[in-house]
Structure 1
């Protein structure tokens, strides 16, 4: 006995192009999230302060000269 589709919504399966695009966009999203987590994860989690990074606290490196 063959089953007939009943009433209602019967979506099509996505084509190869849509599947590939979905996987590519999803992968790039996760790569970007992991990249930003690597760069700023400790600041986001509160393990360090944003002003402690990159040596910005040293005023000697900016070339302002001597302050007398």
Structure 2
């Protein structure tokens, strides 16, 4: 490494820093796209499941009220 001039060594170090920055940016972009997929899933499937569970609970509550009144 000592055979290279200081400018060459600084250029290689700067290139390495740019490469590391590009890798970090690519990983960040990839993780954000995965987060978007998860958000879409939560916004559709999980909300639909929650709605069905709430309807089921309302039916159970109504049946309990009817059973209590019948007794």
Q: TM-score, normalised by structure 2?
A: 0.45
- Return the structure number with greater relative CO, CA threshold 8 A, min gap 6: 2
Question: TM-score w.r.t. structure 1 length?
Answer: 0.46
